[in-house]
């Protein structure tokens, strides 16, 4: 009789180990989700930004590399010589703002210019104030900014014309 029960006991022990293992994994996942309540964004760029970027890459024909959603504080810095309070105040104004696209030299990744793709939200007064600040900060740093009105589609020639009209060298 003992020999008959032995395989069942063995399977029961294995089942209990599996249940314990799954329970530990589920608890760890729940704790992780509470500590780190994050999930992946589905896309880095909006459909309009992706469309524009594809045409932009065609228009410049590998003469620039493009970086998207770049933090303003990563492309401009606060000048030396300010007291700590003034420096911190100036840094706070740039640390959480982003630009849409940064055009870089393909060999050195040096910053050439910035592109802001302006959709209808840029007509709001609060957004216009943000845009004005970013434009002035970039101008102070000597970085040209090109504002492009968001629309359904673009042609490479049209984008080349916009860049040329804005005075940026590609």
Write down the pLDDT at residue 3. Answer: 62
Instruction: Provide Rg for the chain, Cα atoms.
Output: 27
Same domain flag for 81 and 98: yes
Count of C-beta atoms within a 10 Å radius of residue 85:
8
Same domain flag for 107 and 53: yes
Write down the pLDDT at residue 133. Answer: 96
Domain of residue 58: give its range: 47-165
Mean pLDDT by 10 residues, the chain (170 residues): 64 85 80 81 89 94 95 97 96 96 96 93 83 96 95 92 90
User: Which of 65, 44, 47 minimizes the C-alpha distance to 56?
Assistant: 65
Same domain flag for 80 and 96: yes
* 170 inside domain: no
Global pTM?
0.77
CB 114 within 8 A of CB 101: yes
Same domain flag for 74 and 30: no
Number of domains in the chain: 2
Write down the pLDDT at residue 1. Answer: 53
Same domain flag for 88 and 152: yes
Same domain flag for 148 and 64: yes
CB 106 within 8 A of CB 64: yes
CB 70 within 8 A of CB 102: yes
Same domain flag for 55 and 130: yes
* 35 inside domain: yes
User: Which of 106, 107, 102, 109 minimizes the C-alpha distance to 143?
Assistant: 102
At 100-128, the pLDDT tens digits run 999 999 999 999 999 999 988 777 888 89
Same domain flag for 57 and 139: yes
Q: Which two tokens stand for residue 83?
A: 């007291």
- What lies within 8 Å, CB to CB, of 19 at 6+ separation is none
Same domain flag for 123 and 88: yes
Same domain flag for 34 and 65: no
Region of 165 (left: φ > 0; alpha: ψ -120 to 50; beta: rest) is alpha
Full DSSP string of 84-127: HHHHHHHHHHHHT-EEEEEEE-TTT--EEEEEEEE-GGGGSHHH
Same domain flag for 20 and 54: no
**147: helix, strand or coil:** strand
Write down the pLDDT at residue 2. Answer: 54
């Amino acid at each position: 009789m003992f020999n008959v029960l032995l395989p069942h006991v063995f399977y029961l022990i294995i089942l209990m180990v599996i249940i314990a293992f799954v329970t530990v994994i589920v608890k760890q996942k729940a704790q992780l989700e509470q500590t780190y309540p994050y999930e992946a964004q589905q896309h880095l760029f909006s459909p309009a930004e992706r469309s524009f970027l594809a045409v932009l890459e065609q228009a410049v024909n590998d003469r620039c590399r493009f970086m998207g959603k770049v933090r303003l504080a990563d492309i401009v810095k606060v000048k030396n010589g300010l007291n700590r309070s003034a420096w911190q105040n100036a840094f706070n104004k740039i640390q959480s703002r982003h630009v849409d696209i940064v055009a870089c030299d393909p060999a050195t990744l040096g910053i050439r210019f910035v592109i802001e793709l302006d959709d209808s939200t840029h007509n709001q007064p609060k957004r216009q104030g943000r845009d004005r600040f970013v434009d002035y900060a970039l101008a102070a740093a000597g970085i040209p900014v090109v504002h492009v009105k968001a629309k359904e589609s673009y042609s490479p020639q049209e984008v080349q014309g916009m860049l040329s009209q804005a005075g940026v060298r590609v």
